[in-house]
C-alpha cells in the first residue's frame, strides 16, 4: 500500500474539523480532511453563538455566505427558568464586546451550515474526501505519525502526517488513541428526545429568532426557530427520568410536551414533520465528558472528540470552532518552526480547558432552580472572574462565547476583520476566472510568500493599535497579530 503524505490530516468534517483544516491550509500547509458521510448530512446543534458567527466564521471568510443563507437571526435567548414563573429574555447587545449591529447569531440547519464550512475548506486549499471512514492511527513509539482509512468503495489507505487531528465528534472512538480516559460528569447525565414541527408559534419581534428554553418537572425543552415555519423542539430529561423517553417516541414526546404548558401553547397549532431528514424522532445521550488529555505527540483532539458540556447554552459549535482556532495556531507555529510542539500544544489545551471549564462551572449553578435570574448573572461574573463588567454583561459575554476576552472571537475584532480580508483574497485567487492562477496559487512557495506578505500587512495595519493580550498563565503565549499563530509574551 502506498502511503500519502500531508502536513496535517483531519478526521471529521463538522465545524471543528473544517475550522482547523481551513486555518492551517490558509497558512500554506498541505491538509487532508476525511469525512465519513457525504455532505449535506444531518446533525443536531442548531443554535449558534456570536463568537462563532462574527469571530470564527469571519476569520474563515464565510460571513457573506452565511448572511446570504437566510438563517433566522438570533438576538439572544428567552428562558422560563429558575424561580421566576414568567419567561425572561437577554439580548446579546448587552455585551460590551459585541458592537450594536453585530449583536446576533444565527439559528442554523446544520446540514446547510456544516456544508458551507466544508466547501469553504475546499476553496481554501484543503483536500476533502467524503465517504471516507478513519479506522485507526499509525504510531511510531510515543508519536502518532498518520492514520488508516477506508474509502467509499471499501479500499484501505494510509496517510502519514506531522499532525493527526481527531475532529470526528461524539460517536467515534478515535479519541481513545490520544491516551488517558473519557471522564463523564456525574452531574450532567441527561437524555434528549427531539423532532421538528411546522407552524409553531414565534416569540414577539425583535426576538422571534431567539432560542426559547423552558424548564419543566422532568428537565427542559429547547424551541429553536429554523425558518418562519420550521422549529426544532427537544426535551432534555434527567437520567432518573430516562424511562420517559423509552418505548414509543411519538407518545413519549407528546407526553413530555403535555407536561410543559409553555411549549404546549407554542405548538398548539403546529404539526410534527414526519418525512425527510426531519421526519425522525431522535434520541441522544447528552452526557457531559472531557478527555484526561487533549493531545499527545502528533495527535490533537478538537470539538466533541475532546469534550462536551450540557447543551442548554448552545456552546457545542462554539467549543468545536474555538478549539479548531486554538489547534490551528499551535500547528501553524510548530510547522513554521517558531515553537516546539509541547509549548504550542500546552497553550492549546490550557485555553480549551479554560473555556470548557467556565461553561461547566456556570452550568452547575444554572441548574439551581430555586433562584431568580439575578443570581445566575452574579454566578457568571464569579466564574468568569470578570472584574470590569456588570453581572448581566458577564452573563451575556459568557453565553455569547466571549468570556475568554479573545480578540479573534469578539464581533468588533480587528483581527477577525483583517484575517477575513486575507481569506477573501485567497478565495478570489482560487476561484478567479484566470485558470492559470489556480496552479500558481497551489504552489507551496508562492502561497507561503503571499501569506507572509498578508501577515506583514496585518501587522502594519494593526501596529500599535493592536490590543495588548496577556498570557492565560505564567509563561504562557499570546496570539500573533493575524490570529493564526502563538507568540512568546514580551512584557513592555
Q: Which residues bind ligand FAD (CB under 6 A)?
A: 11-17, 34-37, 43-48, 133-134, 167-170, 172, 174, 192, 234, 284, 286, 303-304, 308, 311, 314, 316-318, 320
Nearer to ligand FAD, 223 or 422 (CB): 223
CA–CA distance, 415 with 467 (Å, rounded to integer): 10
Nearer to ligand FAD, 43 or 455 (CB): 43
CA–CA distance, 131 with 151 (Å, rounded to integer): 6
CB-based contacts of 49, cutoff 8 Å, min separation 6: 105, 314, 315, 317, 318, 399, 400, 401
Nearer to ligand FAD, 134 or 339 (CB): 134
Candidates 58, 53, 60, 138; CA nearest to 314 is 53
- Least distance in Å: CB of 244 to ligand FAD? 15
Nearer to ligand FAD, 32 or 167 (CB): 167
CA–CA distance, 210 with 212 (Å, rounded to integer): 6
CA–CA distance, 181 with 178 (Å, rounded to integer): 9
Nearer to ligand FAD, 314 or 480 (CB): 314
Taking each helix axis from N to C terminus, what angle separates 341-366 and 316-335, rounded to the nearest 10 degrees?
170
Helix or strand holding residue 457 (H, E): helix 444-462
Query: Are 459 and 414 within 8 A, CB to CB?
Result: no
- Least distance in Å: CB of 330 to ligand FAD? 17
CA distances from 118 to 33, 130, 267, 400 (A): 9, 10, 34, 24
Place of cell 461574573: 381
Nearer to ligand FAD, 311 or 400 (CB): 311
- Least distance in Å: CB of 485 to ligand FAD? 22
- Least distance in Å: CB of 432 to ligand FAD? 30
Nearer to ligand FAD, 36 or 80 (CB): 36
Nearer to ligand FAD, 117 or 339 (CB): 117
SS3 82: coil
- Least distance in Å: CB of 258 to ligand FAD? 21
- Least distance in Å: CB of 373 to ligand FAD? 20
SS3 273: coil
Nearer to ligand FAD, 305 or 335 (CB): 305
- Least distance in Å: CB of 101 to ligand FAD? 22
- Least distance in Å: CB of 369 to ligand FAD? 20
Candidates 406, 488, 480; CA nearest to 56 is 406
Query: Are 97 and 410 within 8 A, CB to CB?
Result: yes
Nearer to ligand FAD, 37 or 65 (CB): 37
SS3 87: coil
Nearer to ligand FAD, 123 or 284 (CB): 284
Query: Are 185 and 225 within 8 A, CB to CB?
Result: no
- Least distance in Å: CB of 457 to ligand FAD? 31
Count CA atoms closer than 13 A to 164's CA, side-chain side. 28
- Least distance in Å: CB of 414 to ligand FAD? 26
CA–CA distance, 148 with 133 (Å, rounded to integer): 9
- Least distance in Å: CB of 470 to ligand FAD? 28
Candidates 8, 30, 371, 365; CA nearest to 166 is 8
Burial class for 371, CB neighbours closer than 10 Å (0-12, 13-18, 19+): middle
19: left (phi over 0), alpha (psi -120 to 50) or beta: alpha
Amino acid at each position: 500500500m502506498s502511503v500519502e503524505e500531508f502536513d496535517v490530516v483531519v478526521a471529521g468534517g463538522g465545524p471543528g474539523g473544517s475550522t482547523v483544516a481551513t486555518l492551517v491550509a490558509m497558512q500554506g500547509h498541505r491538509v487532508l480532511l476525511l469525512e465519513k458521510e457525504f455532505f449535506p448530512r444531518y446533525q443536531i446543534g442548531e443554535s449558534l453563538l456570536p463568537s462563532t458567527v462574527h469571530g470564527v466564521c469571519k476569520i474563515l471568510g464565510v460571513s457573506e455566505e452565511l448572511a446570504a443563507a437566510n438563517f433566522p437571526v438570533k438576538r439572544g435567548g428567552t428562558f422560563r427558568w429558575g424561580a421566576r414563573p414568567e419567561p425572561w429574555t437577554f439580548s446579546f447587545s448587552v455585551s460590551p464586546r459585541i458592537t450594536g449591529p453585530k449583536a446576533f447569531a444565527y439559528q442554523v440547519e446544520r446540514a446547510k451550515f456544516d456544508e458551507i464550512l466544508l466547501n469553504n475548506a475546499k476553496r481554501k486549499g484543503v483536500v476533502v474526501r467524503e465517504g471516507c471512514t478513519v479506522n485507526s492511527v499509525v504510531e511510531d513509539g510515543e508519536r502518532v505519525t498518520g492514520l488508516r482509512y477506508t474509502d467509499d468503495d471499501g479500499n484501505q489507505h494510509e496517510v502519514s502526517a506531522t499532525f493527526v487531528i481527531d475532529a470526528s465528534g461524539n460517536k467515534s472512538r478515535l479519541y481513545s488513541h490520544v491516551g488517558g480516559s473519557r471522564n463523564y460528569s456525574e452531574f450532567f447525565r441527561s437524555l434528549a428526545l427531539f423532532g421538528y414541527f411546522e407552524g409553531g408559534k414565534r416569540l414577539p419581534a425583535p426576538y422571534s429568532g431567539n432560542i426559547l428554553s423552558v424548564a419543566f418537572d422532568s428537565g427542559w425543552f429547547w424551541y429553536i426557530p429554523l425558518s418562519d415555519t420550521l422549529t426544532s423542539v427537544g426535551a432534555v430529561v434527567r437520567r432518573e427520568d430516562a424511562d420517559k423517553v423509552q418505548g414509543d417516541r411519538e407518545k413519549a414526546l407528546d407526553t413530555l410536551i403535555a407536561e410543559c404548558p409553555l411549549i404546549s401553547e407554542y405548538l398548539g397549532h403546529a404539526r410534527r414533520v414526519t418525512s425527510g431528514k426531519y421526519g425522525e424522532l431522535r434520541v441522544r445521550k447528552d452526557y457531559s465528558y472531557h478527555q484526561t488529555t487533549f493531545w499527545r505527540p502528533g495527535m490533537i483532539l478538537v470539538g466533541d472528540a475532546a469534550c462536551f458540556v450540557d447543551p442548554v447554552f448552545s456552546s457545542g459549535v462554539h467549543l468545536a470552532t474555538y478549539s479548531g482556532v486554538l489547534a490551528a495556531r499551535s500547528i501553524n507555529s510548530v510547522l513554521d518552526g517558531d515553537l516546539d510542539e509541547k509549548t504550542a500544544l500546552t497553550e492549546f489545551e490550557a485555553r480549551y480547558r479554560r473555556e470548557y471549564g467556565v461553561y461547566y462551572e456556570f452550568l452547575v449553578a444554572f441548574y439551581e432552580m430555586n433562584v431568580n435570574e439575578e443570581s445566575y448573572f452574579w454566578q457568571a461574573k464569579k466564574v468568569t472572574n470578570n472584574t470590569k463588567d456588570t453581572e448581566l454583561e458577564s452573563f451575556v459575554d459568557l453565553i455569547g462565547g466571549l468570556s475568554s476576552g479573545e480578540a479573534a472571537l469578539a464581533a468588533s475584532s480587528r483581527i477577525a476583520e483583517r484575517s477575513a480580508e486575507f481569506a477573501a483574497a485567497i478565495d478570489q485567487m482560487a476561484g478567479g476566472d484566470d485558470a492559470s492562477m489556480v496552479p500558481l496559487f497551489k504552489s507551496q512557495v508562492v502561497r507561503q510568500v503571499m501569506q507572509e506578505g498578508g501577515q506583514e500587512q496585518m501587522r502594519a495595519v494593526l501596529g500599535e493599535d493592536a490590543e495588548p493580550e496577556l498570557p492565560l498563565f505564567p509563561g504562557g503565549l499570546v496570539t500573533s497579530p493575524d490570529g493564526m499563530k502563538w507568540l512568546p509574551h514580551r512584557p513592555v
